[in-house]
């Protein structure tokens, strides 16, 4: 029974390039959440998606960031034209039900470094 | 003012000590309170969650919530070197789905 999978685990990009981060939720989970963790800071909510729908994107920067969770395949967090300030660890979490707080499982994260 | 405040530490204790980790929060709408443990270069792992005020115990861990003072605590009894990690408190209000995290407290338990 695989947990949340994220890939790549480490991603290096130069300024101006695109970064695509993938998250495969626990099998059977239809709710996905993305969080960002800057050095020495706690996790900050970015976006909450349910299959094919964005439910809450209040934590997403208005420009360059987008997220999707298609009917088939993993959830994707896409960052266009990356800048050094985008360097962070990006975690996704999944749950089977909305607001089921005891079963929001986190993945191992993708560490993005922007040169 | 941050919605959830947590002392970043580091906190260094000898093996066997009782550890007390604390957070304060500002929004009285928060109903759910969680503690996550995060080892270096890993994702957060849910340790405990409580709803509203009260205590919850699980083995060596006790979570405590005092809504009147907006104060949440995690106690670790008989601490072990394997408990060395960053501990993150998090809250959630009833009508949202986004966890609000503290900055995390780095704990080191030395033999």
Q: What is the pLDDT of residues A54-83, one digit of tens each?
A: 999 999 999 999 999 998 899 999 999 999
Instruction: Let me know if A27 is exposed, middle or buried by CB neighbors in 10 A (0-12, 13-18, 19+).
Output: exposed
* Omega of the bond leading into A22 within 30 degrees of 0 (cis): no
Per cent of chain B over pLDDT 70 is: 98
Q: With an 8 Å Cβ cutoff, are A101 and B32 in contact?
A: yes
Q: Are A89 and A39 in contact (CB under 8 A)?
A: no
- Whether the predicted pLDDT of B69 surpasses 80: yes
> CA of A50: which chain B residue's CA is closest?
B97
- Whether the predicted pLDDT of A38 surpasses 80: yes
Per-window interface: A 75-94 vs B, CB < 8 A? 91
pLDDT, residue A99, reads 61
Q: Which of A43, A102, A105 sits opposite B101 (nearest CB)?
A: A43
> CA of A55: which chain B residue's CA is closest?
B97
B109 alpha-carbon distance from chain centroid: 16
Contacts of B34 in chain A (CB under 8 A): 101
Q: Which of A45, A55, A105 sits opposite B99 (nearest CB)?
A: A45
Lowest mean pLDDT among A34-43, A95-104, B5-14, B46-55: A95-104
CB count, 10 Å around CB of B78? Answer: 12
Of A6, A4, A54, the residue nearest A28 (C-alpha):
A4
Tens of pLDDT, residues A6-25: 999 999 999 999 999 999 99
As a whole number of angstroms, the distance between CA A90 and CA A34 comes to 7
pLDDT, residue A98, reads 66
Beta strands in chain B (DSSP E): 4-6, 11-14, 19-25, 30-38, 45-51, 54-58, 61-66, 71-76, 85-93, 100-101, 105-110
Contacts of B32 in chain A (CB under 8 A): 101
């Amino acid at each position: 029974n695989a947990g949340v999978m994220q890939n790549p685990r480490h991603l290096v990009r130069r300024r101006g390039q695109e970064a695509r981060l993938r998250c495969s939720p626990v099998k059977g989970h239809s709710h996905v959440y993305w969080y960002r963790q800057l050095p020495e800071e706690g996790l900050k909510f970015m976006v909450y998606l349910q299959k094919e729908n964005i439910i809450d994107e209040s934590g997403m920067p208005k420009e360059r960031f987008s997220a999707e969770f298609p009917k088939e395949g993993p959830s994707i967090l896409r960052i266009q034209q990356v800048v050094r300030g985008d360097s962070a660890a990006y975690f996704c979490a999944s749950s089977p039900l909305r607001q089921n707080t005891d079963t929001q499982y986190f993945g191992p994260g993708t560490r993005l470094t922007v040169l | 003012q941050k919605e959830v405040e947590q002392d970043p530490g580091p906190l260094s204790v000898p093996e066997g000590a009782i550890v007390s980790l604390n957070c304060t929060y500002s929004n009285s709408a928060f109903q759910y309170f969680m503690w996550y443990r995060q080892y270096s270069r890993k994702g957060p792992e849910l340790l405990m969650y409580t709803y509203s005020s009260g205590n919850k115990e699980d083995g060596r861990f006790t979570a405590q919530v005092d809504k009147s003072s907006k104060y949440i605590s995690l106690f670790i009894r008989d601490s072990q070197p394997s408990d060395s990690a960053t501990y993150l408190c998090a809250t959630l209000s009833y009508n949202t789905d986004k966890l609000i995290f503290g900055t995390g407290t780095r704990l080191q338990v030395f033999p």
